[in-house]
Amino acid sequence: MKANQSRQSPAGWEESAALLPQAGRDLPVGRHQFHKERLMAHIHQDIQREEPLAATGPGRPKNQGFRLPRLAIALPVAAALAVVGAVVAGSALSGTAGSEVAGPALTTQIGTPTTKGAAHLLEQISLVAAEGSRPTMKPGQYVYIESQAAATYVRDVDDKSSLAGQPLHKRQTWRSADGAKGWLIDPAVNKSPEGETLSLPDEHGHPYKASLNGPSYDYLATLPTDPDQLLQLIYKQTKGMGNSPDQEAFTTIGDLLTESYPPVELYSALFKAAAKIPGVVVVDRAQDAIGRTGVAVARLDETSGERQEWIFDKKTHVFLGERSVQVKEVIQSGVTEKPGTVWFTSAVTRRAIVDRIKQTPGGSA
């Protein structure tokens, strides 16, 4: 279908958005395209064997001292482990007294949820997504995604735990069509401003295998575009992950909206599939990481008390970003997690197809 030129499609490539000034208290400054519970489940098990300071994800115990921001959806487990190691090492710095890295916990006002209109809104979003057009990736090209993200984590200083905020920062990823080559620039996880490779096999010979947890463009092109079949596949491949099958399915779809490149037909089908998940609601007002206000499609994780929100422009239904907000008060490890705490927030600011790693749209590598 021909794209509607009168409104921007959420699937629109070479999409960009002006970075707005941060709002005040209402700005939800604090999850990536990071904070990924299904990947974290695997990573947590591996790191816990060797690291006393283990990373955790949603629904996680928070007594390890650092709440790890969610990793890129496109990041394979082997590469993710390497990045997690860097983040865990960095967390020791953010947990020291006087550190300039840590700021106040990120907070926001909690919007009002309702089941009324959720299916209709997702249908409208799906229709807009179907109108989008995306260039076909050529051999050797890369998907470039730029975003702004911030997070809240549990910080340990002198055996005392408290909530602290990770500042808003730019994140850039490049991924080849097969997912085996890539690059990440993210000051929250990189030791160098130059970033680091995500290419696999890595130095240990770990091969890359695409999945819903770490999809490539080529892999996404093989998924069914029938909403019922797609949702059935998601439930099957995420069985046993997360705090509930429904929450895991919702989270999986949300991950695919941020740092992946679903073909137009699949992108549209994702929203129709989401409408079939029990417990999905609409939140009347939500803001992304750079202060853009919209309406959110959301679902509450009853175990963790967190509500995951996908934020869309109210008029155009363009996808703006996502965030994870605490809506139920929970006390863990002596830390009170109050309603309104923003565990993660992100804003997608640009997507494009580029010819080289570290090349940006309109620029050179």
CA–CA dist 130, 215 (Å, integer): 21
CA–CA dist 226, 126 (Å, integer): 13
What is the predicted pLDDT for the residue at 365? 57
CA–CA dist 275, 257 (Å, integer): 15
Helix (H) or strand (E) holding 146: strand 142-157
Instruction: Tell me which residue has tokens 């082997």.
Output: 78
**Are 261 and 217 within 8 A, CB to CB?**
yes
Token code pair at residue 238: 């995420």
**Are 243 and 59 within 8 A, CB to CB?**
yes
CA–CA dist 325, 301 (Å, integer): 10
CA–CA dist 34, 46 (Å, integer): 18
Token code pair at residue 5: 């030129």
What is the predicted pLDDT for the residue at 344? 95
What is the predicted pLDDT for the residue at 220? 94
Name the nearest CA neighbour of 11 among 128, 100, 132.
132
Token code pair at residue 88: 């865990």
CA 330 to chain centre: 23
Any residues with CB less than 8 A from the CB of 171 and at least 6 apart, and which? 32, 33, 146, 147, 148, 149, 184, 185, 186, 188, 346
What is the predicted pLDDT for the residue at 175? 95
Query: Going along 59-208, which residue ranges are E strands?
Result: 113-114, 142-157, 160-176, 182-185, 196-197
Residues in the chain: 365
Instruction: Tell me which residue has tokens 């482990």.
Output: 81
CA–CA dist 278, 332 (Å, integer): 28
CA–CA dist 248, 91 (Å, integer): 27
Instruction: Tell me which residue has tokens 């853009």.
Output: 292
CA–CA dist 20, 219 (Å, integer): 34
Q: Are strands 113-114 and 182-185 parallel, antiparallel or unpaired?
A: unpaired
Token code pair at residue 347: 């804003």
Token code pair at residue 42: 């695997």
Task: Give the bridge partners for 362, in sequence order.
Answer: none
pLDDT 10s per residue in the chain (365 long)?
333 322 233 333 344 333 333 332 222 222 233 333 323 333 333 333 333 333 333 333 333 323 333 344 434 444 444 344 333 333 333 333 333 467 899 999 999 999 999 999 999 999 999 987 777 888 899 999 999 999 999 888 888 889 999 999 999 999 999 999 999 999 988 889 999 998 877 667 777 888 888 899 999 999 999 999 999 999 999 999 999 999 999 999 999 998 888 999 999 999 999 999 999 999 999 999 999 999 999 999 999 999 999 999 999 999 999 999 999 999 887 899 999 999 999 999 998 899 999 999 976 55
Q: Count of CB atoms within 10 A of residue 285's CB?
A: 16
Whole-model pTM? 0.75
Token code pair at residue 63: 């007594």
What is the predicted pLDDT for the residue at 53? 32
**Are 9 and 131 within 8 A, CB to CB?**
yes
What 3 state SS string does 33-85 have?
CCCCHHHHHHHHHHHHHHCCCCCCCCCCCCCCCCCCCCCCCCCCHHHHHHHHH
Phi and psi at residue 252, to the nearest 5°? -60, -45
